[in-house]
Chains A and B, each alone.
Chain A
C-alpha cells in the first residue's frame, strides 16, 4: 500500500472539479494537465499547479498519453486520475503509468482492454451465464450481414465492434436498409474508432437502460452500489439519469446487481466500474450490454442515495487500501435525478453553442447538487463537449426528487449561451415521464416531436 500524496488530473471541465474536490478532502496535492484553451479554467485555477500539455485540440493534448505521463513525472505527481472520456478507457495510459511507477486511478490495463472489445465482453458475459441480446459474431460483408439479420429476425441493430456510448449504431428494419447502411456504418466506425468491424444484435423496441455501479479493491472485495435507470436517451446519449430504477421489483433488482457482481468478481475488477444492461419490461429480462471501466458522468445519483463518495473511494482503492465499507453497510435512501445542462440549442437539433457566459446563477438548496466548472464570464470553448453543469436533486421519493428538479431548473439562470434547460423543464412536466412510461427511444420517437412543436 502506498499513500498517494499528489495526483495529476488528466481531464477538464466538471469532472476535473470533482476530482480536485475529492483530492482536497483526502489532503492530496493536486496538479492538472490543461490544454492551451483550459489554462485559465476554473479547475486550472483551483489546482495547486497547472501544466500546459499542448494545443487546444484534444488530439494534441488530452489524448496524448505519453505527454500526460511526462507531465506527471515532471511535477512529481504520484498518481493520475483520467476522469471520463479522453484517455479514461485507453489501456495505454495505465500501462505507461505502470512502466513509470505511477499509480493509475482506475482498473488494470488488461481489464480495460477486455471490456473495451465489445464482442469479447459479450462472450465473457455469456460464459458467466449472463444473457446477452442475441447477436452475430463479426460481420465481414453485406451478404453475411443479410444472412445473420435473417437468423436474428428484424429489427436488428448494426453496431461497431470497437464502439461505445452508442456511437455508430444503426437500426435496420428490413434487408434493403442494410444495403445502404452497412457500408455507411463500416466507414463511420473506421473514422470514429479506427476499426471498421461490425456486428448485429436483435433490437428490442421498448427497452430500458439499467446499469449497476460496482466497485472492487485489490484485496478481493467487490460490492455493488445499486442500479441507475438511464432510459432517457437521445441518439444513444444519456440525457437524464435516476437512481434507483423505479420499475424494478426487489427480486429483479437483486438479480441485476448479482449479474454485475458476478462480472466484477470474475474479472477481479479493481476500482469503480459500471455494468450496463438492456431490460426488456415485457419479458422481465436483463441483457448484458457493456461494461464501462471508468467513473461515469451520472455517478452523482448513486452518491446521493448511498452517501458514498465514489471518487474518493477510487483514489483510496488505487493506493491499495481496502474498500471503506462492506455490502451490508450500503443503505439506499430516497431517490435522485441528474440533468445534464449542455450549451446546446434543443430547437436546432441540439447543436452546440459555445461562447461567453454573461450570467451564471446556479440554484441553491439542501436537496440540490450542482457539479460544474462554469462561472460568470467563462468562455465555453468550442473544442470539447458542451456539458456546462450537472444538476442533481434528491427527494424522499421519485416525485419529490422530480419536484426538486423542477424548482432547481427554474432557479438556474444562465445567459450568453443557449442551454438545454428548457428541454428539461418541458420533459419534467411530461405526464408520461412522470408516470415512468418511457423507453430508450421515447425522447426521439415521441417527446421531441411534441417539444419541437411548442418551441
Chain B
C-alpha cells in the first residue's frame, strides 16, 4: 500500500531542501515524486499533476497533492475542490490559520476595503479577516508581526478549521534574524 500524505511529501521535500543532493526520485505503485533543486529553489514533479504552480518569491512552492486515480487501493486523502495548502519552506514565513470552519471575508462589511492586502504590515493584534458562522462574525487576528505576502483563501468562500488563510513574512530584530532576511 502506498500512502503519502501531504505532510509526508512536505517532509520529504524539506529533507531534500536541507540536503546536499540536487535531485530526489521516489516511486511506488501508484505514486511518483521527482524533486530537483535548481539554483537553490525546489522544483517538484508528480504524476497526475502536470501543471506545476509557478514559482513564487520567498521560495514558496504551491502545489496540490495529487489525487490518486486508484481509489480502491489507495488511502490518499482527497482534497477535491479544496483550496490548495501552500507548502512553506522559508522559515521566516508564518501561516495565519482559520480558528474555525466558516465563511471567509476579507472585509469588515460588504463594500468596505479589505483588512489587509499583499504587502500590508500587520501587528499581532491586527484584524486580518472575519469568519462567519451562521451570522456570527468572528474576527481573526494576525497573531504574528510581519508583512502579508500571500492571501490563500477566497473572499466569500468556506474555509475549514486550521486552513491557511494568509502567509506572513515575519519581522525579526536584526540580531535574531536567522538569514538576515530583514534589511
Give A residues with C-beta under 8 Å from B: 36, 39-40, 44-45, 48-55, 61, 66-67, 69-71, 73-75, 96
CB atoms of B102 and A52 under 8 A apart: no
Q: List 23 A-B contacts (CB under 8 A).
A: A36-B162, A45-B76, A45-B78, A48-B80, A49-B78, A49-B81, A50-B78, A51-B160, A52-B160, A53-B160, A54-B161, A55-B161, A66-B136, A67-B100, A67-B101, A67-B102, A70-B101, A70-B102, A70-B133, A74-B101, A74-B158, A75-B81, A75-B158
What is the CB-to-nearest-CB distance from B159 to chain A, in angstroms, rounded to a whole number? Answer: 8
A100's nearest neighbour on chain B, judged by CB, is B134
CB atoms of A53 and B101 under 8 A apart: yes
Q: Which of A40, A48, A73 contacts B158 (CB 8 A)?
A: A73
CB atoms of B158 and A53 under 8 A apart: no
- Once the chains are docked, how many angstroms separate the CA of A74 from the CA of B100? 13
- Once the chains are docked, how many angstroms separate the CA of A252 from the CA of B80? 53
CB atoms of A40 and B5 under 8 A apart: yes
What residues on A are CB-neighbors of B45 within 8 Å?
none
CB atoms of B78 and A48 under 8 A apart: yes
For the complex, is B12 an interface residue (Cβ under 8 Å from A)? no
- Once the chains are docked, how many angstroms separate the CA of A53 from the CA of B101? 5
Q: Mark B59-81, 1 if CB is under 8 A from A, else 0.
A: 00000000000000001111111
For the complex, is B107 an interface residue (Cβ under 8 Å from A)? no
CB atoms of A39 and B134 under 8 A apart: no
* A53-B161 contact, Cβ under 8 Å, with A66-B133, A70-B102, A70-B133: yes
For the complex, is B103 an interface residue (Cβ under 8 Å from A)? yes
What residues on B are CB-neighbors of A50 within 8 Å?
77-78
- Once the chains are docked, how many angstroms separate the CA of A36 from the CA of B78? 15
Q: Which of A45, A51, A66 contacts B75 (CB 8 A)?
A: A45
What residues on B are CB-neighbors of A54 within 8 Å?
100-101, 161
- Once the chains are docked, how many angstroms separate the CA of A44 from the CA of B75? 10
B100's nearest neighbour on chain A, judged by CB, is A54
What is the CB-to-nearest-CB distance from A117 to chain B, in angstroms, rounded to a whole number? Answer: 25
- Once the chains are docked, how many angstroms separate the CA of A71 from the CA of B76? 21
What residues on A are CB-neighbors of B157 within 8 Å?
74
What residues on B are CB-neighbors of A53 within 8 Å?
101, 160-161
CB atoms of A52 and B162 under 8 A apart: yes
- Once the chains are docked, how many angstroms separate the CA of A301 from the CA of B81? 39
What residues on B are CB-neighbors of A49 within 8 Å?
78-82
CB atoms of B100 and A66 under 8 A apart: no
What is the CB-to-nearest-CB distance from B146 to chain A, in angstroms, rounded to a whole number? Answer: 25
What residues on B are CB-neighbors of A67 within 8 Å?
100-102, 133
What is the CB-to-nearest-CB distance from A83 to chain B, in angstroms, rounded to a whole number? Answer: 19
What residues on B are CB-neighbors of A61 within 8 Å?
161
- Once the chains are docked, how many angstroms separate the CA of A354 from the CA of B60? 38
- Once the chains are docked, how many angstroms separate the CA of A88 from the CA of B114? 39
- Once the chains are docked, how many angstroms separate the CA of A48 from the CA of B76? 11
CB atoms of A51 and B5 under 8 A apart: no
Add 10 more A-B contacts to A36-B161, A48-B80, A67-B100 (CB < 8 A). A40-B5, A45-B75, A49-B80, A49-B82, A52-B160, A52-B163, A53-B160, A54-B101, A70-B101, A74-B157
- Once the chains are docked, how many angstroms separate the CA of A36 from the CA of B103? 18
What residues on A are CB-neighbors of B77 within 8 Å?
39-40, 44-45, 50
What residues on B are CB-neighbors of A52 within 8 Å?
101, 160-163
What is the CB-to-nearest-CB distance from A371 to chain B, in angstroms, rounded to a whole number? Answer: 19
- Once the chains are docked, how many angstroms separate the CA of A70 from the CA of B156? 12
- Once the chains are docked, how many angstroms separate the CA of A71 from the CA of B81? 13
What is the CB-to-nearest-CB distance from B63 to chain A, in angstroms, rounded to a whole number? Answer: 19
Q: Which of B5, B79, B101, B136 contacts A71 (CB 8 A)?
A: B101
CB atoms of A71 and B158 under 8 A apart: yes
A55's nearest neighbour on chain B, judged by CB, is B161
What residues on A are CB-neighbors of B162 within 8 Å?
36, 52
- Once the chains are docked, how many angstroms separate the CA of A69 from the CA of B134? 9
What residues on A are CB-neighbors of B158 within 8 Å?
70-71, 73-75
Task: Scan residues 34-80 of chain B and give those whose CB is less than 8 A from a CB of chain A.
Answer: 75-80
Most buried by B among A53, A69, A96: A53
- Once the chains are docked, how many angstroms separate the CA of A70 from the CA of B161? 12
B158's nearest neighbour on chain A, judged by CB, is A74
What is the CB-to-nearest-CB distance from B59 to chain A, in angstroms, rounded to a whole number? Answer: 27
Task: Scan residues 144-169 of chain B and give those whose CB is less than 8 A from a CB of chain A.
Answer: 157-158, 160-163
Most buried by A among B102, B133, B161: B161
Q: Mark B96-139, 1 if CB is under 8 A from A, else 0.
A: 00001111000000000000000000000000000001101000
What residues on A are CB-neighbors of B134 within 8 Å?
66, 69-70, 96
- Once the chains are docked, how many angstroms separate the CA of A52 from the CA of B77? 12
CB atoms of A70 and B103 under 8 A apart: yes
- Once the chains are docked, how many angstroms separate the CA of A70 from the CA of B132? 9
What 5 A-B pairs come out closest when comparing CB atoms? A74-B158, A66-B134, A52-B160, A52-B161, A54-B161
B74's nearest neighbour on chain A, judged by CB, is A45
What is the CB-to-nearest-CB distance from B78 to chain A, in angstroms, rounded to a whole number? Answer: 6
What is the CB-to-nearest-CB distance from A257 to chain B, in angstroms, rounded to a whole number? Answer: 41
